[in-house]
Amino acid sequence: MSAADPAANKLLTFNQRSASEDLGCRRGDFSRKHYGSVELLISSDADGAIQRAGRFRVENGSIDETSDYTPGTWRRTDVHLENPEYHTRWYFKYFLGKVHQNYVGTDAEKNPFFLSVVLSDQNNQRVPQYRAILWRKTGTLKISLPYSPTKTLSVKSILSAMNVDRFEKGPREILNPEIQKDLLVLEEQEGSVNFKFGVLYAKDGQLTDDEMFSNESGSETFDKFLNLLGDTICLQGWAGYRGGLDTKNDTTGINSIYTVYQGHELMFHVSTMLPYSKENKQQVERKRHIGNDIVTIVFQEGDDASPSFKPSMIRSHFTHIFALVRYNSQNDSYRLKIFSEESVPLFGPPLPSPPVFTDHQEFRDFLLVKLINGEKATLETPTFAQKRQRTLDMLIRSLYQDLMPDMPKVPFSPQNMLNRRSFSDVLPESPKSARKKEEARQAEFVRVGQALKLKTIVRGDAPTSLVTTGLCRKEPWESQSFCSSFPYDIVCGDSWGQSLLVATDSAGVMLLEASDPLFSNADSPTLPPVQVFDKTLTVKQMHVLEPQDLLIARADKGKDARLYVYRLSTLKRGIEERQLVRTKCDSRENKLEKTKGCHLYAINTHHGVELRIVVAIRNKLLLITRKQSRLDCLSSATVTGTTDSSVEDFQYIREICLCDSPVVMALVDGPTGENDHMICVAYRHQFDLINESTGDAYRLHHVDSNRVNFVAAIDVYEDGEAGLLLCYNNICIYKKVCPFNGATPMIQPNTSDFHFSWNQMPNAIVCAFPYILAFTTDSIEIRLVVNGNLVYTAVVPELQLTASRISPIRVGMESVDGETDVQQLCSSGSEVEPRDDSPPMTSPFTFSTSFEEDILDLK
């Protein structure tokens, strides 16, 4: 876009301002210790003899359980439902009751699969896109693909995007509308949208499950806790979710506790409300329900000095998670402690420190979210996952046999429910002669689907968004306008103080000041941008390093590309004194000469000790470090008397030759800094680790796909040990690469390794603990770093990430009239105002997008 264009772009800033600041001080640093540690728990009888033992992850807020709660020291944590159904149940939400296509086929291993494709609107935000679901015995894979009005999408290209390129039998379209019922059953195998939880009352001093289950009634504080959990309902004639309880003959009690939370129906199996038998000391009827609940709350009376509950006190092979609740009458607070069986994956939210809640409503929200997330996480353990996979495999094979009993011997007919048109265009135009027949078929298809959807809603099994108004839900992110009118396309940028330094496609490099926060997004006056470099310097990549008083920029392209370094203090003085705009000729003294022809560079994330730069020139890596000098300790104000160029501050260490040109690079800090730093590079079909000292290469990950689109390699540090988030196509993999053994990294499989799939192909990835964010062409997908679980998806059309760092997240957007608007995304998860000594806001991102004003509300 040229300067003559009347339109401009819009930039948004996204500030992650929440309690997660306390969990990770820097982008790229995180700890699993916030989610507890695994302990061997042993229970014994009154004589001290060991009864049972088990390994559980214990969460108690990372503090001593007996420590006192001091007002003002409470650390809040972000509370989010993980993998919420309104984001994950795609078939019910986007497909069912709408015109879409379904296909059946077998892969190269002769395993049957089903594929569903729909052309839909992105959350009613006028962003058309293809959504596809691949049903296989290993689970479902979902992906969104961009829509182009000039290019139809084939089934083959959709399957290729899902890494399915070879077939034993090519996909055939299923025309029978009844297939929708079967596919809905497949989706429901992901887990129920409603939950049942056990509630066990334990008096002070009770140490066995027989004693706990034998309590006929609870205390006043226990009744107060039950009233907090939900409503007391009469079971006889109950029409809602019953959680396995008898609603006709009162055989499982007269009353129970029930509630609806964010669209989920929750039934609590309360021990004192289930039938009691004086003759049966083991209370089998009570254990039959609570012992078969995946998650159980244990409400224990007594003070902190009393013997505490342990999961090994309960004889159950099914219960995987225990939530221990204690009430303190002195300050009217609840204390929470979580026990999770060792095989349960990590799940949030992490407990605050201390795990004491004086706000009872806040405690209820935290507890219910923790219980729901815990049950979902348990379903991923080997015991449940294998059972689910067997069920899914059986259902898929049975459905496949019903549809294709003997395809080679049976001639094609409408009764086969299959269309011979394979690899057809999605939603094709029908010939005029057959249009009426096709319209009638589609109308019947939609009618059947809508009837199924209504039946599911009435039955109470609908995903969250369709059974709740959503008024009580708090979305974690919102945007703020940073610059409402900018007349150029942004190539790259970085934050500089409260401002944004951006490189444009046709007007050089400019400094943008934030809009006045006293005005609304629409009325905020836009300050004119300040020209820093003219258009003769075409910057493609940049980093602003304020502590080092440095601007690093890669400019030009091809053989003329070079790396430039500037002192920020010099640039700032030139802006303040209104000196002439710098040109490419003025930057001759700022070139790093050996970088001629570079196409990519990367810097180390944590450069507190030594700044390292690796520059890629075709298949050659050039390692550069900044010399240590006393100037590093001086402020930028005292550096103004030195030379304008900072080239002399850098020294060339070595060159490393690779087998191909890298597409993505990341520097990984070693634990000692003594010859153990590494470089992660992506090229061809692989990620490799390169030893900075020796140049030796180690295979980190091989990409088994015909087409590879490398997105990012991000170095993260878990309790000081290095790991890497490897992102390509729509896949993200976490691999731990420490500890080092001398100069050789340990890259063997680790129990903490995991992988997940983004719902769309990302263009950029940002890690801001506890979140990892994917920026696509029209959305921001937010997940948790520790497990890859989805938290939220924000729809932002025509999106482009401009910058991310430890300050507000800034994002640029290009509006429909061609203008660019810069706005800021803020986390609204915390209701607690930060103290004066609180850490700075973490991970601001700047992106560029194109949309109308009425779509800007991401709350």
3-state secondary structure 504-524: ECCCCEEEECCCCCCCCCCCC
User: CB within 8 A of 364, min separation 6: which ones?
Assistant: 228, 229
Report how far residue 466's alpha carbon sits from residue 821's, in angstroms, rounded to the nearest whole number. Answer: 33
pLDDT on residue 794 = 83
Q: CA-to-CA distance for 550 and 644, rounded, in angstroms?
A: 11
Peptide bond into 528 cis (omega under 30): no
Residue 376 exposed, middle or buried by CB count within 10 Å (0-12, 13-18, 19+): buried
Predicted confidence at residue 815, as pLDDT, reads 42
- Give pLDDT, residue 608: 56
pLDDT number for residue 723: 85
Q: Which stretches in the chain have pLDDT values below 50?
A: 1-7, 17-27, 64-74, 406-425, 427-428, 465-473, 517-522, 630-642, 742-743, 807-808, 813-818, 826-844, 849-859
The pLDDT assigned to 643 comes to 56
Q: In degrees to the nearest 10, what's the CA dihedral of 222, 223, 226, 228?
A: -100
Q: Which amino acid is at 101?
A: Q
Q: For residue 64, what pLDDT is reported?
A: 47
* Gap between the terminal Cα atoms of the chain: 31
Q: Which of 781, 776, 773, 844 is nearest to 807 (CA)?
A: 844
Q: Are strands 167-174 and 418-419 parallel, antiparallel or unpaired?
A: antiparallel
The answer for residues whose C-beta is within 8 angstroms of residue 636's C-beta and 6 or more apart is 546, 549, 567, 568, 569, 572
Return phi, psi of residue 157, to 5°.
Answer: -70, -35
Contact present, 346 and 32 (Cβ < 8 Å): yes
Q: What is the pLDDT of residue 477?
A: 63
Take residue 804 and report the two structure tokens written for it: 């991310």
Q: Rounded to a whole number, what is the largest CA-CA distance in the chain? A: 96
- The pTM of the full predicted model, rounded to 2 decimals, is 0.83
CB 604 within 8 Å of CB 655 = no
In the numeric block, the tokens 């015909």 are attached to: 706
